[in-house]
Amino acid sequence: MKTEISTDRAAAVELLERSEIVALPTETVYGLAADALNGEAVAKIFEAKKRPYFDPLIVHLPDRDWVERVARMDDLSGKVTEAFWPGPFTIVLPKREIVPDIVTAGLDTVAVRISAHPVFSEIIHKFGKPLAAPSANRFGRVSPTTAQHVCDELDGRIPLIVDAGPTAHGIESTIVAVRGGKIQILRRGPVTAEQLSKFGTIEIAGPIERVSAPGQLPTHYAPRTPLRLIEVSESFSPKKNQRVGLLAWNSARSAKDFAVFRCLSERQDYREAAANLFCYLRELDQSDLDLIVAERVPLHGLGAAIMDRLQRAAHDPLDAQDRPE
């Protein structure tokens, strides 16, 4: 199959109507979309991404009127989504029959989101129905923030990538679930714990807490090159003949020690850093390095979501298995 990169929104709608899959921009990362209410169309997403069927998808809605058709919204979830929709925000709700089991991996809940991206919004409104859309990367890999990244991941496996330039936030949406009157953060993202705390008590779900979301697996977002986290103040010099790339938070280190040097944000701006994160990880991963060294980012606001991704990128897959005591 030939993969087109274009700005043709009508072609995207037409493909979706024919139960095909299409990569679309959102304000967080690019998603791989299919008709959420059509199990066969959704199966193509799992195939193209090589995603295991136990990992449920986010359902994007054209507008709020759709919420009660696919899920049951409680009062607190209603208030929180009122504040952050449309936007980089996903909420897990009890699902209704209409949502096929393949979308939710058999769970009795469904993750729903309304995106504010003008191109995504235009396409989903023309299509007129919910779209299931995970990030448009192969399973377990870094999410794509440009059309070219999607192409690097899925070339030849999907018919169309709608290009709307780099995404604004650069990291995936915040995912929450309201449980026992508390707001549980299942995945950190652009909407921060501080922002959510205005609405109630916050709980941060720990890494593999009974994997209801494999996006929480410690090895998710993995580059192929080993990645090590260091403190900004920690000294580090590459060994002789070792090709090391630096992903810096603070640009104070000497660039000449490193084969490749990327600074997340010269002005230490968290938004800019988040927007650059996956792009720089990809560039470093493609630079034929022995090691990527990444400086720890302060945990304020969005910094926590950035560190969450970096920690997963740094995780040694061999450590991901539960080891006997």
Binding site for ligand TXA (CB under 6 A): 26, 28-29, 31, 55-58, 90, 92, 104, 107, 109-111, 113, 133-135, 172-173, 175, 186, 212-215
Question: What tokens appear for 287 in the block?
Answer: 């630079």
Under the binding rule (CB under 5 A), the answer on residue 26 touching Mg ion is no
SS (HEC) of 14-64: HHHHCCCCEEECCCCCCEEEEECCCHHHHHHHHHHHCCCCCCCCEEECCCH
Coil, helix or strand at residue 193: helix
Compute the least distance from the CB of residue 196 to ligand TXA, in Å: 16
Q: Are 37 and 195 in contact (CB under 8 A)?
A: no
Compute the least distance from the CB of residue 182 to ligand TXA, in Å: 16
131 binds, among Mg ion, ligand TXA, none (CB under 5 to 8 A by kind): none
Smaller CB distance to Mg ion: residue 104 or 135? 135
Compute the least distance from the CB of residue 184 to ligand TXA, in Å: 10
Closest CA to 61 of 136, 4, 111, 20: 111
Q: What DSSP character marks residue 206?
A: P
276 binds, among ligand TXA, Mg ion, none (CB under 5 to 8 A by kind): none
Question: What tokens appear for 123 in the block?
Answer: 């396409």
CA–CA dist 298, 305 (Å, integer): 10
109 binds, among ligand TXA, Mg ion, none (CB under 5 to 8 A by kind): ligand TXA
Compute the least distance from the CB of residue 214 to Mg ion, in Å: 9
For the segment 99-158, give every residue that binds Mg ion (CB under 5 A).
135
The site for Mg ion (CB under 5 A) is made up of 135
